[in-house]
Structure 1
Amino acid sequence: MDAVRKRFAQEGNIKFYSDGSLTNVGTEAVSAAFGVIASVEGGGLSEAISGRVEGFASSANAELCGLLATVIISPRDKAVDIYLDNSSVVDGFHCLVEKRAQATTRQKLRSADAQWWAMVHDAYQRQGRGIKVHWVRGHAGNQGNEKADKLAKAAHERYQVSWRLQVDQHQDMWCHAQFALTSADKDMREILKLQSAVRHHHKWLSQNRTKEYVQDWTEVAWAPTLGILHDKNPPMGLFTSVRDCQLRAHRVKKLHGMLPTLSQMRQR
């Protein structure tokens, strides 16, 4: 990283275009990657850095890792402009990096991908706070953005080793929750809500009546099934409304072909 930074140390006006890429979504081969293109006065566009992202694969992580890498390779104490086509990442930079001193503890720790933002802020401080992040419309003919997009897509096959985020020593992350040695990327309330749904699901599976009436319960793909049952909205607590229960019961019957039909009603 130092070598890449030194490469741009003597340049005047520096612009970076960063983009993320996510492929094979919903499969075991899912992959997140990023690409960064540099633009210097009189030098045109050139590849700066790219890589794959380890851990939970999401487009947000890919974009954030690209931003982090760009901040790290930016020359120290110089004005640098970074362009991204993800407006939420740009807004996050303004709120959680540039104005982090004014952000509340709740904003810093309950924001999505809080650990990534903590590291971006750390790199921003080390750089000298000379970085400005701007939004650029994606796939609109901007050459820097288009080349960054292609570089990010090529990075999926180009690298075997992925970027891994280590936040153990960052003071904002000392109390950040982890599960199975992996940092919790989502809001803690959402994580606890999902854990509650999984816990009650396992309790339901252990009941004898479940095994008796759902004969092939061990062969069921429960992850997508639960998504259908809860309409991708797991219950927020131990108790749900009568309406929610009725809808889930309807979905269970539909999955098992148990909804009443005219022929079944005649048989009754």
Structure 2
Amino acid sequence: MTPELITKIIRKRLADGTYGPGTQLPAERDLSVEFGVPKWVVSRALRPLKDIGDLHSSVGRGTRVPDPQSLVPLPGIREIEQTLRSRIGDGTYAAGTWLPSAATLAAEFGVVLSTIHGALAPLKGEKLLASLGTLGTYVVDPQQPGVPPPDRASRTVAYVGKVLRERLSDGTYPPGSPLPTNAELSAEFDVASNTISRAISPLRAEGLVFSRLRRVYAARPITEPPGLASNATRVLDGDLKGGLDHA
């Protein structure tokens, strides 16, 4: 099942009240089981609904349907800066540890990446935070201000490239299908966007992926995992039939 078909089904459920205002959607892993697809397909399907405000995600609360009666303004750069400053002060983000990625913070606060970068800038200027190439941003330890935290495998270009190569090989990304966007992969691996770009570059050079209209697609002809097509048809038919019965 394609992300576009899942988006269509979720949009229909929003319209008919299956997912009403203020309610929480099933977890992405549960939706992936329902639709018989990998979790990244569900993430991509939900993205356009989040972009137009039909859904909202936050760390620790999952994905919810906004309730117009209880909407509050999104935080600005100054408010996010103060929240991060408070977390550093109270030890939520301990000295000498990695900060969540900008993509993760953007999802938590419901803002675009540029807002997060703006909030981080003064904290870096005060030497409370520091960034290290593609590895990310960390909380500076006053006792060892020049020493970053130990590296994590999930933050390396080599690790991300290895995982993407495995997914191309085992059919997680079927031939001709678009890979998740850089932003989606950044959030999944908790890395900067340029780490994703560097991981994809050798795959493109080897002909395993190709780019078109600013998207990256799987190129190697791999057999699609069995069972997905029949499951997709069953779920879609059930939802659309239900919609016709209630029309």
Normalised to the residue count of structure 1, the TM-score between the two structures is: 0.25
Q: Which has the larger radius of gyration?
A: 1
Normalised to the residue count of structure 2, the TM-score between the two structures is: 0.26
Greater share of residues in strand: 1
